[in-house]
Amino acid sequence: MDTGKTMNWDWEKLQQQQKSRRPSGPGPSGGGGGGTPPQMDELINKFKNMKFSMGPVLIIVAILVILLGSTMVYTVEQREVGVVQRFGKYVRTTYPGLHFKLPMGIETLHIVNVDETRSAGFGLSTAQAEKTLFSSRPAAPSNVYDESLMLTGDLNVGIVPWVVQYNIKDPIRFLFRVHEAEILLKDLSEATMRLVVGDRSINEVLLIREEIASECRTRLQQELDDAETGIQVTALELGKTNVPPKVQPSFNAVNKAEQEKETMIFTARKEYNQAIPAAMGEAKKTILAAEGYALDRVNRAEGDAAKFMALYKEYSKAKDVTRRRLYLETMKDVLPKLGKKYLIDEDQKNVLPLLNLETGNRGVTK
């Protein structure tokens, strides 16, 4: 383009604008003023008007750029995953780092912390639920332990506070399979605990908390998996179980009576274990002695019978010899037991000389 022509055209345009603004008649320089060049202040004002008209456009463009950039670029931190939806449909999962997505609500982003350990307390204040371990802490104030009041299998009422610790193992299921998955977790946890406690007696609830917690955790995880919540239960712990304060004195009295009953039973069993085995041993000893005596008598009788039968056989073979032998053997056994013996001739008529045979006892006649 020719520069000279451009300048002539701008000059004519400015003269026309000045004529339209100035009144008719001679100007300060005389005549119509058509040959007067434009003043410096008019040029400056025109430039200012031009800058003011371009400002809002630049601002709008900058705002649009910022909005597009903020909705397209996002960062996923460590221990997190990003779940992206396009017009409401799941399209991808992103992991720690810098990522891009379509702007202006075409794609929406959900950031889920999959490594965080979360907790839900039941029958506990917030501070107690955060500490998780209860030791000997009281159950809970009356305004928060209504959910921990439970009916046991033996129709007693117990206070069973507990805490569930969990994390998110499947963010897709956690976000899209179940509406308000964490609320469902609380409902299932309470239902499962009531089911487990309802199968136990009050004494079991008070004494075997670890077993109850383990069973409840297993059942709760099964229910969560069946519902496809994407939640993994990492721990379930029972607090200090007890009975309601209004029935505590009566419950203590019952426990004391039960303990006294058990003590009496143990004492009776101790005496029983001391007396009965001793009596049974004595009876067995007497029975064995009687059986031994009976066996001895039977064996002796059988031996005597066998001996008699053997003698009878010998006697039947030689009666005179056997009779003579039996007589001599009998005399051999009997005579030593008779003491002193005097043998006198049957023809002797006078036995007086025999009266002095004793030397040890004078005057005594035998």
Residues 170-189: tens digit of each pLDDT: 999 999 999 999 999 999 99
Q: Coil, strand or helix: which one is 276?
A: helix
For 242-253, write each residue's pLDDT tens digit: 888 888 888 888
- C-alpha span between 149 and 26 (Å, rounded): 105
What was the pLDDT predicted at 366? 41
- C-alpha span between 184 and 181 (Å, rounded): 5
**Percent of the chain predicted with pLDDT > 70:** 72
Name the residue with higher pLDDT: 303 or 344.
303
- What number does CATH give the domain 119-243? 3.30.479.30
Please compute the mean of the pLDDT values over residues 18-42 and round it to a whole number: 49
What was the pLDDT predicted at 123? 85
Please compute the mean of the pLDDT values over residues 42-67 and round it to a whole number: 65
Dihedral of the alpha carbons of 145, 150, 156, 161, in degrees to the nearest 10: -50
Please compute the mean of the pLDDT values over residues 299-324 and round it to a whole number: 84
Break the chain into its structural domains and give their ranges.
40-116, 119-243
Judged by average pLDDT, the poorest of 117-131, 291-305, 318-332 is 117-131
In the chain, helix, strand, coil percent, each to 5?
55, 15, 30
Name the residue with higher pLDDT: 61 or 99.
99
pTM score, whole prediction: 0.55
